[in-house]
Amino acid sequence: MKYRTLRLILWRLLMALPILFGVIVVTFVLIRALPGDPAIAYASGPSMDQEDIEAIRRAMGLDKSVFQQFLIYLSNIAHLNFGTSMITGQPVLQDFAERLPATIELAIVAFAMSLIVALPVGVLAAVYRDSWIDQLSRVITSISAAMPGFFFGLILIFIFYFVLSLAPEPIGRLSGWTIAPPTVTGFMTIDAALIGDWEVVREAIVKMLMPAASMAIFAVAPLMRMMRGGMIDALDSDYIKAARAYGVPGWKILLQYALPNAMLPVLATMGMVLSTMLGANIMIEKLFAWPGIGSYSVNALIGVDYAPVQAFVLIVAVLFVLMTLAIDILSAAIDPRYKLKG
């Protein structure tokens, strides 16, 4: 059984390679179809002339054919070389390593907030079908599915910062006068906790609440729908009816029998939602000036900086593939009837 599981995992990873190659090709072509010349953007000084621009273009490899540029790009990726950012002057991989913890920390908090809302309400909506709780869940789902995260963020900023003055300024991970803890993990809350600075931990959590809520709004709808649908199917199944006929307590039926079976489709949705959060947070990070990979990629795109944008798309695609595989493995471990999708 373990050999079969390992073989299926290796097969899934092998099948992901064509997908990742397709992502590389599409991103490479689309980036070069955008208007603007990176050499001109890089040579923005007043003393630069046409010869300097041509020299920069040769140094960046833009004087070669598109096919040659693509082969060079593939070779660099194989050596984990994603190029150098024209904006920061640092290797792209180093920039991502510095900014990725901020994105992951925000995504984890947003994901936790969406679970806290979606799962209990979804269970209650299934247990009390067609009641006011069920109707409320439908309203929440409709609002979550229809409202863009950045618009919800603007509403939160207006209400809690401008009107009520309850939230701190919606800029960055800490206030301008707060000294950041030494970087160990890159996660602000963990790094502050390691040195025992609980005031910075509290401030970092408070600063995350509004951007995390803005990211969580889009995740509530799919999670709540899957939780409600899975619980309804489980509660209507024959084994639940048999348990009720044998006089099994209602709480035990709900928590021990119905909920574990209803969680399988929810787990699959969780994986897709979390991996999507890592890539779909661009507008949220830009709105709240959050120093993550999303805002970094937007700045690179505006500055006609090819390398960070290509690296962002590829890294998010890899995270999505790995997250999907991890959810499949977890589902197979929870329920032996679940088969890893080959």
Q: Are 256 and 90 in contact (CB under 8 A)?
A: no
pLDDT tens for residues 122-168? 999 988 888 888 898 888 888 888 888 888 889 999 999 999 888 88
**What are the distances in angstroms from CA 231 to CA 120, 144, 178?**
11, 20, 46
What does 4-42 look like in DSSP terms, one character per residue? HHHHHHHHHHHHHHHHHHHHHHHHHHHHHHSSS-HHHHH
In a domain, 14, yes or no: no
Supply the pLDDT for residue 211. 93
User: Does the pLDDT at position 92 exceed 70?
Assistant: yes
Greatest mean pLDDT among 230-234, 306-310, 323-327: 230-234
Q: Cβ atoms within 10 A of the Cβ of 260, count?
A: 12
Mean local confidence (pLDDT), 2-19: 75
CATH code of the domain containing 245 = 1.10.3720.10
* Domain assignment present for 258: yes
Assigned domain for 113 exists: yes
The percent helix, strand, coil of the chain (3-state, each to 5) is: 75, 0, 25
Distance CA 42, CA 303 (A): 9
Residue whose tokens read 């950045």: 150
Does any domain span residue 80? no
Note the pLDDT of residue 337.
60
List the domain range (segments joined by +) for residue 125: 98-334
Residues 268-276 have a mean pLDDT of 79
Closest CA to 228 of 120, 337, 150, 152: 120
Residue 320 belongs to some domain of the structure: yes
Q: Is residue 18 part of a domain?
A: no
How many other CB atoms sit within 10 Å of the CB of residue 56? 19
> Model confidence over 93-127: pLDDT tens digits?
899 989 989 998 998 999 999 999 999 999 999 88
> How many other β-carbons are positioned within 10 Å of the β-carbon of residue 122?
26
Tell whether the model's pLDDT for residue 6 goes beyond 90: no
For residue 25, is it within any domain?
A: no
pLDDT digits (tens, 9 = 90+) for 22-42: 888 888 888 777 766 666 666
Give the residue among 217, 111, 210 at the shortest CA–CA distance from 156: 210
Distance CA 222, CA 122 (A): 10
What is the mean predicted confidence (pLDDT) over 289-304?
A: 85
Asked if residues 71 and 57 have their Cβ atoms less than 8 Å apart, the reply is no
The whole-model pTM stands at 0.82
298 domain residue, yes or no: yes
Instruction: Give the chain's domain count.
Output: 1
Q: In a 10 Å sphere around its CB, with 0-12 CB exposed, 13-18 middle and 19+ buried, how is residue 329 labelled?
A: middle
Instruction: Return the percentage of the chain with pLDDT > 70, whole number.
Output: 88
